[in-house]
Amino acid sequence: MNKTEMKTTTMRGRPAITDAKRQRMRNEIANIAKQLFQDEGYTTISMRRIAREMGCSPMTLYQYYNAKIDILRTLWSDVFNELFDELEVVSRTHTNMLHCLGITYVQYWLDHTEYYRLVFMTDGVNQSDVSTFIDSPELVQRFSVFALAISGSFSEKIEPEELKLKLDAFLCFLNGIAHNQITISGYSWADPDKMVAMAVSAVTD
C-alpha cells in the first residue's frame, strides 16, 4: 500500500501534493529550464538561477527533480518525441524509406544542434548518460521504424541477429555523421546526404 493509495483514507498532517499539481510544477520548471538551457547553456545555468526565475528557493526544485541533470533528462524525452514524430511521417509517405529516414534523422540534429548537445553532449566527465532513458520502453519502441525500414528493404526474410547488426550499425553511422559535423565544426566535412547514402548501402547490400 503506497502513499497515493493512503490518500483515500483520512489522514493527519499536511496532505502530500496532488499528482496533477506535482506534474504542473514539473512542467513549469522544465519550461523555464529549457529556455534558459537553450539560451545560455546547461552548465552556465544554475539551480539558483532557475529557482530565481521560478520565484522559489533553490531546494524547492529538489522536491520535483532529484538533481539538475534530471531536469535535462526530461527535456531529452521531449526532443526525441518530436524527432520520432517526424520519422514516422516519413516512414508512411516515402518509398525509399531508409534513405529518407536517415536524412531526416541526421538533418534533425543538424537543425537542432542545441538539442543534440543537450542529449548527447551533457557535461562529459561524469557518468550519467543518455542510456537510462533511451532504454525506456516507449523510446525503444520508437526506434523500430528503422528496423522495419531495414527489413522492408529486403525481399526475403532477414534473420533477427543480422537485422540487429544492421540496425545498430545504421544508428551508429547516422549518429556519427551528425556528431562529427556538430562537434568538429571547424573541419569541412563531406556532404551529409552522401554519407547517409553510404550508410544506407552499407546496410542494404
Partner DNA sequence: CCTTTTTATTATACGCGTATAATTTATTGA
Partner DNA sequence: TCAATAAATTATACGCGTATAATAAAAAGG
**Which window, 51-59, 84-92, 151-159, 186-194, contacts a second copy (CB under 8 A)?**
186-194
Shortest distance (Å) from residue 55 CB to DNA = 8
Report if residue 67 touches a second copy, rule: CB under 8 A: no
CB 171 within 8 A of CB 179: no
The single residue among 47, 54, 148, 169 that binds a second copy, judged by CB under 8 A, is 169
Residue type, 204: T
Shortest distance (Å) from residue 74 CB to DNA = 13
Residue type, 152: G
Show the cell assigned to 85: 514524430
Distance in angstroms (rounded) separating the CA atoms of residues 166 and 171: 9
CB 122 within 8 A of CB 72: yes
Distance in angstroms (rounded) separating the CA atoms of residues 151 and 72: 34
Show the cell assigned to 100: 529518407
Report if residue 9 touches a second copy, rule: CB under 8 A: no
Show the cell assigned to 11: 489522514
25 or 178: CB nearest a second copy? 178
14 or 157: CB nearest DNA? 14
Instruction: Give the burial class of 185: count Cβ atoms within 10 A of its Cβ; 0-12 exposed, 13-18 middle, 19 or more buried.
Output: exposed
The single residue among 120, 142, 148, 153 that binds a second copy, judged by CB under 8 A, is 120
47 or 158: CB nearest DNA? 47
Q: Using alpha carbons only, what angle is made at residue 177 by residues 79 and 154, rounded to the nearest 5 degrees?
A: 90
Report if residue 20 touches DNA, rule: CB under 7 A: no
For DNA, the binding residues (CB under 7 A) are 3, 10-17, 45-49, 56-60, 62-63, 67-69
Q: Which residues bind a second copy (CB under 8 A)?
A: 41-44, 72, 114, 117-118, 120-126, 129-132, 134-135, 164-169, 171-177, 179-180, 182-187, 189-191, 194-195, 198-199, 201-203, 205
